[in-house]
Chains A and B, each alone.
Chain A
Amino acid sequence: MGLLDQRFENGNVFITSLDGLLNWARLSSLWQMQFGLACCAIEMMAASASNFDIMRFGIIPRATPRQVDVMFVAGTVTIKMASRIKRLYDQMSEPRYIISMGSCATCGGPYWEHGYHVLKGVDRVIPVDVYIPGCPPRPEALLEGIMKLQEKVRKESLLKKRA
Chain B
Amino acid sequence: MTTSDHLAIKQPRCEAFAWKWMRYSAFLLIPLVWIHAIIQDLITGGHNLSLEYVHMRWAIFGWRVYDIFLLAFAFSHGVNGLRQVLLDYSKSESATKTINWTMFIFWLVFASIGAAALIYGVRIP
A and B interact: no
Binding site for B on A (CB under 8 A): none
Binding site for A on B (CB under 8 A): none
